[in-house]
Chains A and B, each alone.
Chain A
Amino acid sequence: TGSSCESWDVKLLQVSTFAVDRGNFKTCDQSAFCKRQRALKPGQSPYRALLETLELSDSRLTLQLINDNNKVHLLLELYRLQGNMTRVKINELKPLRPRFEVPDVLIAEPPTEPLSVLSKDDNGVVLSLGAKNQRLIVSARPFRLDIMQGPEVLLSLNSRGLLAFEHLRLHKDTDKEEDGLWEETFKSHTDTKPNGPTSISLDFSLPGVEHVYGIPEHADDLKLKTTDGGDPYRLYNLDVFQYELYNPMALYGSIPVMLAHNTQRTMGIFWLNAAETWVDISSNTMLDFVQGSSEKPQTDVRWISESGIIDVFIMLGPKPSDVFSQYASLTGTQSFPPLASLGYHQCRWNYNDQEDVKSVDQGFDQHDIPYDFIWLDIEHADGKRYFTWDPHKFPQPKEMLQGLMDKRRKMVAIVDPHIRVDSGYKIHNEITSKDFYVKNKDGRNYEGWCWPGNSGYPDFTKPEMRAWWSSMFAYDQYEGSMENLFTWNDMNEPSVFNGPEVTMHKDALHGKWEHRDIHNIYGLYVQMATAEGQTQRSGGVERPFVLTRAFFAGSQRYGAVWTGDNAAEWDHLKISIPMCLSLGLVGVSFCGADVGGFFKNPSTELLVRWYQTGAYQPFFRAHAHLDTTRREPWLFGPENTALIREVIRQRYALLPYWYQLLYQAHKTGMPVMRPLWVDYPKDTATFTIDDEFLIGSDLLVHPVTEEGSRGVTAYLPGAGEVWYDVHTFQKHNGAQNLYIPVTLSSIPVFQRGGSIIPRKDRVRRSSACMENDPYTLYVALSPKKFAEGELYIDDGHSLNYDTKKEFIHRSLTFANNALTSSNLCPDCNFLTSSWIEKVLILGASKPSKVLLKMDGKETPVDFEFDTSMSVLTLRKPGMNAGADWTLLLQ
């Protein structure tokens, strides 16, 4: 839902231009610690490693650092982690009070590998990082770390001397009275800063790297830009009303993970800190010692956070997929969503009442458009009291849900974390009596203004609070809920309309920790507790589905993310691609943008193009602001209805592929929607592409995102590879820029030669209705007449795939004129009634005969051959989708 301002800030009534009010949000200069840190000059590091303090246990090295200016000692911890990662922790040796370390993000304490000292002298220590000739050099004066592989420096820490650790101190011991150390005011809000300055910073140099990615969420290009002369990229979860594009301003979520890539290697830096964080990026060159005098490009990155400790994971790749699995091993993978949630979602702020829901539902059937979920925004609740229903508009929620269930469809209702302060509201009373609210600095319940008016904010950092919250989703607690009702967590940055930067005061208290310390992880906890509640209500049997707006590292484990309150503008359609690509790179695969644009009314052309783009992005939901005109897919004339119907049908036909990719993401951490460079890491032409993308490895999509477009130029990667237009089956060579003329019905999509994609071409009104339908296999042959793919099948909604291994996972391979299905999980156990109705082989030659080999028998299979496009169609081979079989072309 919407954003903050309209209901409370009447001043904005006059400012109806669709742009963020930048004055509401801080620049680095207005954030005291950022300003202080950024004022430091490189090359003057006061830190020195005290080598004599080095201690090495089997897998942990500790070493003290001293700041020669103030004699404060820091403790450096180094770990070699399994899977080619290094962890560097720096904290005060003896802090005045404990400093915050972020819990609940790592799925477990990362397993370590032994470290050993190779050599040591007065200048430093050389450690072996085990595998592949990797070494870690600790330099003493100034302190510096270099990670080497052979003669090559992969990455250096504090090489520019920007390590800066503001130690905890007493106010009376502050040597100089500087602005913003013990108090800071922004607009009318004063941050009392009882702990004084606590910020930390560290720089990283990446020799040979020109391309860095990640650190979402920003409305910016995929490739991160240098921040010289401007603000750093900011990570601070904020409800930004009408956000602007192509700038480093903070948005709703923060994932402090950056990827660095060149043709040789991909690496990642994971800065585990939940406080307000700024990231500076500059592009430099350094002398290449190995190559002699030639200059080598280099990217320097500097992280600055307001509090906490330095805890950084260096993921050394070297392949993109290695970095994904390394990050997944730390923070977990994308949750495996119910199949239905990969279908189309129809949302609006708001569907007015039960009648409205019913008539929209009927509209889809009348116009023969599939959909799986209809959504209710904040107006559905009684006075914005979440977990309740407006008694006039939604008097019979179960009747409504049953109506949807009869059509095998589902619903999502919003549950936001701000709780109406109202002694007649059960949720508020229970939170109050259990003392679960966040406190203000004086220890009273923190209250802020949000949709319901005066609201409290449950302290989701408390495990007991989360457990209680989860229990509220039980069917007997959440009145009117049924098993086809799912949840949407909005405003969980948290949004506080009358708070500083529309969020919570930093001196508010979560137990003993300040909001300052935990801010960026608050939203993760909300989704975590909600998803857990959904799992619990089914007795741990069903998969949850929860959408969130705010997120942090690890949020991928709890559901889907969308890019917040965008606008019905062409540039917002374009930016949806890099925004979701950036999220995919750092673990969040289940990403989407509001189709049609949230604010304003889209032109019909923009709406159609947005459906065409959104249908090929992981989370596919149309949404619209309360003040926009209705835009259900059939309201724009029969021709546009047909265009939208067609693309939604394409989405449904591809659901088996999407589902399999989500399964893969869940198992391996591989992103579903990917930048081209992930699969073509040596092709520099792909490094900055963010107007097209891959779905898995096998589909390449170049959506039309220009108004009035008559053609697009798509880059087809892969020298020596071929791509097939999925609509015409025309074959194109890889490693070329292909001009594609387009009309309003065109969606340029290509299948990679060498791949096999299973589809369900019998599209029905919801994904559940297609459960038992047969598959068609699209076998796209490589120039070497080879292809491979997978087929994943389970019940689509339960956790039995995990708990009971109830799934089918097949490998499909076409080689030597034979297409074979073999079992990837022999000890799995699931029965499907789906069968193979058709096999299309693209780029084939005409066989004389086709035989199906199964159960030791051979039976002939009818086929047709289209000479013009070289497409061989095998008619109704008919084998069960879970069986072993081979189709022989003779």
Chain B
Amino acid sequence: MLHLGTPVEIQRPRGVPLTKKQFYVENKPFTCLDGSRTISFDRVNDDYCDCKDGSDEPGTAACPNGSFHCTNAGYRPMFIPSSRINDGICDCCDTTDEYNSGAKCENTCKELGRKEREVLQKMAEITKEGFLLKQHLIEEAKKGQQEKQSKVTDMQGNKKQLDEKVEVLRTVKETAEQPEKEAKERHLKAWEEQKAAIRLEKDKAKMAEAFLELDDNADGFVSVSELQSHAELDADADGTLTETEAQGLMGGAEQVDTSTFESVWPNIKDKYHSEVMETPPDEVKEPVVDNDSEPYPEDDISEEEDEEDEDDYHEDDDKVSCGCVQAPPTIKTPEKNHEDEEAMPSYDADTQALIDAAQKARDDFEEAEKALREMDDQIRNIEKELSFDFGPDAEFTYLYSQCYELTTGEYIYRLCPFNRVSQKPKYGGSETNLGTWGSWSGPENNKYLLMKYDHGTGCWQGPNRSTTVKLTCGKETVVTSTSEPSRCEYLIEFTTPAVCQEPANTDLSPHDHEEL
């Protein structure tokens, strides 16, 4: 039982740690460590379990719940379950667990200790450097945060001014639009009147023409029979204009002269077809209000018409900065036949001046409003960024709006912290969303060790894809590995200085072993 190479080994029953040595006194009755019973000392390590807590068999496999202590000089001492004593498998690097199994174990403690120290040393270096980097990150993040904070504050001040400016310009615009509107209406009204007069004139001429045409026998009267020759005037649309129908159109008279025809004309003029070549029935064009060239001020757009489109338009506007937005929805009527000889005359100089003034006011107002919207967006973006949990010291801030990639055999994985994780086949194919930023999800004592991204693309008969990102201390910010431990549940290992802990002030000398 004595380890010959370690003369400082203190004698005690097999498997007992030094800290419990005092409970095992040779040739004195042994009391189970849970106090449940006392047995004679020869029952300690006699390969039969007497104590419920297993404490009488620290060096055998007799107790199901016992544990065995190996000193592992040169490495770390440890406890193993009693069931691993003499099971043919070397568990303790000092080989003490296999004293009767025939297993050929070699003492590997020194080697393990050396390796461990190397690893620890390396880790310590990384941690140290990483921690320094982390301090920079924190500083920068704090600076950045302050900058952003003050920027937001500034912008909010500016925004207030801009708000006021917009209001002022709105008033200016509205003030300019009133006289514009009145002048345009005046112009329109005059035009309407003029058109009515022209229309009347034309109608009279047509009536006279029709009278002459209808008066086949040129007796100065249009008779019922003469009217009947114009079947298109048939009221019941049976194809013939009966005598009674014709008489009805003529107000009951047998024949009419030019002046009485004036009262017949309104009954027939809509259907009347001239027999001679004629311009089509002359409908006076409605005046074309030129609303194409004059965008309505936003508030004037009628609600039922374009509210939705308008919203869409603005959403697009946020993203698309080029002028390639689809045609504004206000363009409804295509250019009408402008060969219309009766187009509205252009505005007179006074009206045009009022219109120009109003247009300038509108432009000024819109420009100001756009500036306000942009500022709002900026403020919102900064506020969104500021609202993220970037760690207790904002050390994760630098990851924001960055992306990190790792190329594996088949795929390119892309991690954009606080945003999303995706996977793209290396040789073409579409990208798969492996999850969008959810939350920090590490253990309670340090939630910043794991990131959870979820609600990615759905899996067949399975959940939506999700990704856990495991953060470890490293000098560099880099994705080190990806895996899919469970179908559609991805694991990304990611090193960053941001999780490096302040190195404890430890020296790297081997552990103080009980024996040394």
B84 contacts across to A, CB distance below 8 A: 764-765
Annotate A757-787 by CB proximity to B: 1 below 8 A, 0 otherwise: 0000111110011100100000000000000
- A169-177, A185-193, A621-629 - interface stretch: A621-629
- Supposing A6-B461, A627-B488 touch, asked if A764 and B87 sit within 8 A by C-beta, the answer is yes
8 Å CB contacts to B: which residues of A623-645?
626-630
CB of A108 within 8 Å of the partner chain: no
- Supposing A407-B89, A627-B461, A764-B87 touch, asked if A773 and B485 sit within 8 A by C-beta, the answer is no
Complex contact B48–A765 (CB within 8 A): no
- Cα distance, A16 to B487, chains bound together (Å): 17
CB of A131 within 8 Å of the partner chain: no
Complex contact B87–A769 (CB within 8 A): yes
CB of B329 within 8 Å of the partner chain: no
8 Å CB contacts to B: which residues of A341-375?
352, 356, 368
Complex contact A16–B483 (CB within 8 A): no
CB of A406 within 8 Å of the partner chain: yes
- Cα distance, A769 to B97, chains bound together (Å): 13
Complex contact A356–B87 (CB within 8 A): no
CB of B504 within 8 Å of the partner chain: no
- Supposing A392-B409, A630-B485, A837-B48 touch, asked if A762 and B89 sit within 8 A by C-beta, the answer is no
A392 to chain B: closest residue by CB:
B409
- Cα distance, A770 to B409, chains bound together (Å): 43
**Interface residues contributed by chain A, number (CB under 8 Å):** 29
- Cα distance, A788 to B62, chains bound together (Å): 26
CB of A39 within 8 Å of the partner chain: no
8 Å CB contacts to B: which residues of A189-219?
none
Annotate A691-732 by CB proximity to B: 1 below 8 A, 0 otherwise: 000000000000000000000000000000000000000000
CB of A682 within 8 Å of the partner chain: no
- Cα distance, A356 to B463, chains bound together (Å): 22
B487 contacts across to A, CB distance below 8 A: 626-629
Complex contact B61–A773 (CB within 8 A): yes
Annotate A357-399 by CB proximity to B: 1 below 8 A, 0 otherwise: 0000000000010000000000000000000000010000000
Complex contact B83–A408 (CB within 8 A): no
CB of B239 within 8 Å of the partner chain: no
CB of B19 within 8 Å of the partner chain: no
- Supposing A368-B81, A627-B460 touch, asked if A765 and B485 sit within 8 A by C-beta, the answer is no
Quick one: which of A13, A406, A628, A763 contacts B89, CB cutoff 8 A? A406
CB of A875 within 8 Å of the partner chain: yes
Complex contact B462–A627 (CB within 8 A): yes
B489 to chain A: closest residue by CB:
A629
B410 to chain A: closest residue by CB:
A392
CB of A265 within 8 Å of the partner chain: no
- Cα distance, A323 to B87, chains bound together (Å): 43
CB of B459 within 8 Å of the partner chain: yes
A16 contacts across to B, CB distance below 8 A: 461
CB of A876 within 8 Å of the partner chain: yes
B85 to A: closest C-beta gap in Å? 9
A530 to B: closest C-beta gap in Å? 28
- Cα distance, A522 to B16, chains bound together (Å): 59
- Supposing A627-B460, A627-B461, A875-B48 touch, asked if A408 and B89 sit within 8 A by C-beta, the answer is yes
A406 contacts across to B, CB distance below 8 A: 89
A622 to B: closest C-beta gap in Å? 15
A192 to B: closest C-beta gap in Å? 36
- Supposing A765-B83, A876-B48 touch, asked if A408 and B460 sit within 8 A by C-beta, the answer is no
8 Å CB contacts to B: which residues of A540-560?
none
- Cα distance, A769 to B61, chains bound together (Å): 11
A51 to B: closest C-beta gap in Å? 64
Complex contact B462–A837 (CB within 8 A): no
- Cα distance, A773 to B87, chains bound together (Å): 9
- Cα distance, A239 to B483, chains bound together (Å): 31
Complex contact A627–B459 (CB within 8 A): yes
B409 contacts across to A, CB distance below 8 A: 392
8 Å CB contacts to A: which residues of B438-475?
459-463
CB of B337 within 8 Å of the partner chain: no
Complex contact B460–A6 (CB within 8 A): yes
Q: Chain B: interface residue count, which band?
A: 20 to 34
Complex contact B64–A761 (CB within 8 A): yes
- Cα distance, A649 to B88, chains bound together (Å): 19
Annotate B76-107 by CB proximity to A: 1 below 8 A, 0 otherwise: 00000101100111000000000000000000
- Cα distance, A350 to B83, chains bound together (Å): 30
Complex contact A764–B488 (CB within 8 A): no
B87 contacts across to A, CB distance below 8 A: 408, 764-765, 769-770
Complex contact A762–B486 (CB within 8 A): no
CB of B484 within 8 Å of the partner chain: yes
Complex contact A352–B48 (CB within 8 A): no
B47 contacts across to A, CB distance below 8 A: 837, 876
A770 to chain B: closest residue by CB:
B87
Complex contact B83–A763 (CB within 8 A): yes
Annotate A857-886 by CB proximity to B: 1 below 8 A, 0 otherwise: 000000000000000000110000000000
Complex contact B62–A837 (CB within 8 A): yes
A762 to chain B: closest residue by CB:
B61
A370 to chain B: closest residue by CB:
B83
A734 to B: closest C-beta gap in Å? 31
B62 contacts across to A, CB distance below 8 A: 762, 837
B101 to chain A: closest residue by CB:
A772
B406 to A: closest C-beta gap in Å? 16
8 Å CB contacts to A: which residues of B22-53?
46-48
Quick one: which of A352, A356, A628, A769 contacts B88, CB cutoff 8 A? A769
Complex contact B89–A769 (CB within 8 A): yes
B459 contacts across to A, CB distance below 8 A: 627
Complex contact B61–A352 (CB within 8 A): no
A368 contacts across to B, CB distance below 8 A: 81, 83
Annotate B468-505 by CB proximity to A: 1 below 8 A, 0 otherwise: 00000000000000011111110000000000000000
B273 to A: closest C-beta gap in Å? 64
A862 to B: closest C-beta gap in Å? 9
8 Å CB contacts to A: which residues of B44-72?
46-48, 61-62, 64
Complex contact A628–B486 (CB within 8 A): yes
8 Å CB contacts to B: which residues of A791-838?
837-838
8 Å CB contacts to B: which residues of A601-626?
626
Complex contact A629–B486 (CB within 8 A): yes
B306 to A: closest C-beta gap in Å? 39
- Cα distance, A392 to B411, chains bound together (Å): 14
A763 contacts across to B, CB distance below 8 A: 64, 83
A198 to B: closest C-beta gap in Å? 41
- Supposing A630-B486, A876-B48 touch, asked if A762 and B461 sit within 8 A by C-beta, the answer is no
B462 contacts across to A, CB distance below 8 A: 627-628
- Cα distance, A762 to B48, chains bound together (Å): 11
- Cα distance, A630 to B488, chains bound together (Å): 11
- Cα distance, A13 to B462, chains bound together (Å): 11
B41 to A: closest C-beta gap in Å? 15
B91 to chain A: closest residue by CB:
A365
- Cα distance, A16 to B489, chains bound together (Å): 20
- Supposing A762-B83, A763-B83, A773-B61 touch, asked if A356 and B89 sit within 8 A by C-beta, the answer is no
A392 contacts across to B, CB distance below 8 A: 409
Complex contact B461–A356 (CB within 8 A): no
- Supposing A407-B89, A408-B88 touch, asked if A356 and B83 sit within 8 A by C-beta, the answer is no
B46 contacts across to A, CB distance below 8 A: 876
- Cα distance, A376 to B356, chains bound together (Å): 81
A568 to B: closest C-beta gap in Å? 13
A837 contacts across to B, CB distance below 8 A: 47-48, 62
Annotate A5-16 by CB proximity to B: 1 below 8 A, 0 otherwise: 010000001001
6 A-B pairs (CB sep. < 8 Å)? A6-B461, A392-B409, A628-B486, A762-B83, A763-B83, A765-B89
7 interchain residue pairs of minimum CB distance: A769-B87, A627-B462, A630-B486, A876-B48, A764-B83, A627-B487, A629-B486
Given A629-B489, A762-B64, A875-B48, 9 further pairs, Cβ under 8 A:
A6-B460, A352-B485, A406-B89, A626-B487, A627-B462, A630-B486, A768-B88, A769-B87, A769-B88
Query: Chain A: residues with CB nearer than 8 A to chain B?
Result: 6, 13, 16, 352, 356, 368, 392, 406-408, 626-630, 649, 761-765, 768-770, 773, 837-838, 875-876
